[in-house]
Amino acid sequence: MLRGMLVAGLLGWSLLAPGPAQSQMPVVPDNLGPNASFERLSHGEYLYRTIKARTPRGSERFELIAHPDGTRTLIMWNDLFAKHGQIHAVLRVDARFRPLETQYVYWSDGRFKGAANFRLDGTALAGTVRTPDGGLATQRLTVPEAVSFATHPLAGDGWHAWHVESQQPAAMVNFDAGPDLTMPAAARLQPADWRRVRSEPIEVPAGRFDCEVYAGAGATVWVTGPDRVLVKFEWPALDLEYVLARFGTGRDRGAVSPAVTPLAAPSANNSVLRWHEGEYSYRTIADGRERGWERFRHTVQADGSRTMLMWQGLRARSAQFTVLMRGEQSFRPVDAYASYWNDGKYKGSVNLWLQGPQLSLASHGAFGEWREETTVPERVSMGTHPIAADGWHLWELDAPVSRARAFELEATADLGKPIRGKWRELPMARVGVEKIKVPAGEFETTHYRLGGTLDIWLYGEDRVLVRMRHEKADRDYVLVRYEEGGKSGQE
């Protein structure tokens, strides 16, 4: 079955439907289950505010996955409404918390700053950067062994001090997220002077935590637990602090403290038009048995382009996939990143960059390195395997029958097979408008059939996938949690 990402469609298509109704159906069960690609899962939310007046400035959410080999995948997105900024990022580190790679998308002051991927191999740092005008540039740096990444969502800032016991000269790679569009979202190496200060318990809106405290670069950070979860970041010279406002482990989302109520109604952010967040349950049709889960965050940016984060835990195959991708307003792909775990083993990661009809792919993993370039049609989509963007495969939404081509990525458990693409034809038929009820609520949807066997139900102008069924394969994917918002603060 094709599960897609970054997909093409018609400009400005619209399904005129009311918002989802609240449902009394059961909430999602704990379906993390035994999965050999996970050791631990945690997630939470930060409140950005001033130290003196406690004025809210923004918020950030994260999900942290600890893998069996000690590596970690950190998924982050924020809303810095005080500066009309927004960032989506994925950061991978090794068992010591030394960075392996990062993919990020930067918006600043309501404008696209850039997107990039940087990968560290020993002391060699190599990156591809998307510039504000849509062009591509490359960058290479030599870095010391004691190095960390500053991607600017702050959930990974507890990892800067991983090397303090080594006594080695240290540096931090600071990625440019500032509002100056003449400066690309590229890497800058700067000295790091982190040191351990003390151990102490602290109280934040998310609760009480026993922490290790580190200081450096004029800031102080409090981290807790084996994954060095950031609990608090304080920067007195700038009157800024960032505090953990919600925290949970496994599938528990964590309680929201009354102290973080400003997060429910932030000020407007000119970088964000609207957003969607949710979670799917993967099930069998015959007996409703849980097979896994998926979460997503879809942001429609100021210019109508789209940023999608998707991550899943498919316990039926002990798999874990993470995807960060961007699409045009029309849903046509722009760039993408994916990392794949299968049967408790890391297969690898892949980057895709699209410029007009040219698609470049670079992947790295147990198979070594693979690179390819190909020419793609205008009506193209990408299949990366999480399902949240499968509605983006559709081009002619109102036509009874149409066809598109999907560039589907190799993501099997065969570690010897490189992550590369193969073309797949996608015939599509429009079945009709249907109101359906799922655990997340009741939705006015349009029903489509892909390939003659795969049924999908889409809601709204941003093609939120509400349900997908594959009768022949005995597979059912249902939306069990859903949130949406207009411009930040316009819920």
Q: Can you tell me the distance from the alpha carbon of 396 to that of 386, in angstroms, rounded to the nearest whole number?
A: 23
Average pLDDT, the chain: 88
Q: Can you tell me the distance from the alpha carbon of 136 to that of 129, in angstroms, rounded to the nearest whole number?
A: 6
Q: Kindly state the average pLDDT of the residues 376-400.
A: 87
pLDDT tens, residue by residue, 293-318: 999 999 999 999 999 999 999 999 99
Angle at 323 between CA 137 and CA 66, to 5 degrees: 110
The set of residues, in sequence order, having a beta carbon less than 8 Å from that of 172 and lying 6+ positions away, is 147, 148, 149, 150, 160, 189, 190, 191, 192, 217
Residue 317 dihedral angles phi and psi, to the nearest 5°: -120, 10
Query: Exposed (0-12), middle (13-18) or buried (19+): which is 38, by Cβ within 10 Å?
Result: buried
pLDDT tens, residue by residue, 329-359: 999 999 999 999 999 999 999 999 999 999 9
Q: Kindly state the average pLDDT of the residues 39-51.
A: 95
pLDDT tens, residue by residue, 63-108: 999 999 999 999 999 999 999 999 999 999 999 999 999 999 999 9
User: Residue 374 has what pLDDT?
Assistant: 94
Would you place residue 451 in the very low, low, confident or very high pLDDT band (cuts 50, 70, 90)? Answer: confident
User: Which of 80, 82, 79, 87 lies closest to 104 in space, CA to CA?
Assistant: 87
Flag whether pLDDT at 4 surpasses 80: no
User: Residue 50 has what pLDDT?
Assistant: 97
User: Residue 253 has what pLDDT?
Assistant: 53
Q: Kindly state the average pLDDT of the residues 157-179.
A: 92
pLDDT > 70 fraction of the chain, expressed in percent and rounded: 88
Q: Are 7 and 212 in contact (CB under 8 A)?
A: no
Residue 308 dihedral angles phi and psi, to the nearest 5°: -125, 125
pTM: 0.90
User: Residue 425 has what pLDDT?
Assistant: 86
Residue type, 369: E
Q: Can you tell me the distance from the alpha carbon of 337 to that of 116, in angstroms, rounded to the nearest whole number?
A: 10
Q: Can you tell me the distance from the alpha carbon of 272 to that of 85, in angstroms, rounded to the nearest whole number?
A: 9
Task: Kindly state the tokens that stand for 26.
Answer: 């059961």
C-alpha radius of gyration, the chain, whole number: 22
Q: What is the sign of the dihedral through the CA atoms of 385, 389, 390 and 395? A: negative
Would you place residue 415 in the very low, low, confident or very high pLDDT band (cuts 50, 70, 90)? Answer: very high
Q: What is the sign of the dihedral through the CA atoms of 12, 304, 454 and 432? A: negative
More confident residue, 3 or 71: 71
| Ramachandran assignment for 122, one of left (phi > 0), alpha (psi -120 to 50 degrees), beta (any other) | left
User: Residue 22 has what pLDDT?
Assistant: 35
Would you place residue 17 in the very low, low, confident or very high pLDDT band (cuts 50, 70, 90)? Answer: very low
How far is C-alpha 411 from the chain's CA centre? 18
Task: Kindly state the tokens that stand for 440.
Answer: 């997340």
Task: State how beta strands 99-108 and 146-150 pair.
Answer: unpaired
Q: Are 70 and 92 in contact (CB under 8 A)?
A: no
Q: Kindly state the average pLDDT of the residues 284-288.
A: 94
Cα–Cα distances in Å, from 5 out to 114, 185, 285?
20, 24, 24
Would you place residue 487 in the very low, low, confident or very high pLDDT band (cuts 50, 70, 90)? Answer: low
Q: What is the sign of the dihedral through the CA atoms of 279, 282, 15 and 357? A: positive
User: Residue 33 has what pLDDT?
Assistant: 58
Flag whether pLDDT at 491 surpasses 80: no
Would you place residue 268 in the very low, low, confident or very high pLDDT band (cuts 50, 70, 90)? Answer: confident
Q: Are 450 and 2 in contact (CB under 8 A)?
A: yes
| Secondary structure of residue 262 in the 3-state scheme | helix
The fold of the 265-485 domain, in CATH, is outer membrane lipoprotein receptor (LolB), chain A (2.50.20)
| Secondary structure of residue 90 in the 3-state scheme | strand
Would you place residue 413 in the very low, low, confident or very high pLDDT band (cuts 50, 70, 90)? Answer: very high
Q: Can you tell me the distance from the alpha carbon of 141 to that of 124, in angstroms, rounded to the nearest whole number?
A: 6
Q: What is the sign of the dihedral through the CA atoms of 372, 128, 380 and 465? A: positive
Domain chopping of the chain, boundaries: 40-250, 265-485
Terminal alpha carbon distance of the chain: 35
Would you place residue 426 in the very low, low, confident or very high pLDDT band (cuts 50, 70, 90)? Answer: confident
Flag whether pLDDT at 7 surpasses 50: no
Q: Can you tell me the distance from the alpha carbon of 139 to that of 125, in angstroms, rounded to the nearest whole number?
A: 8
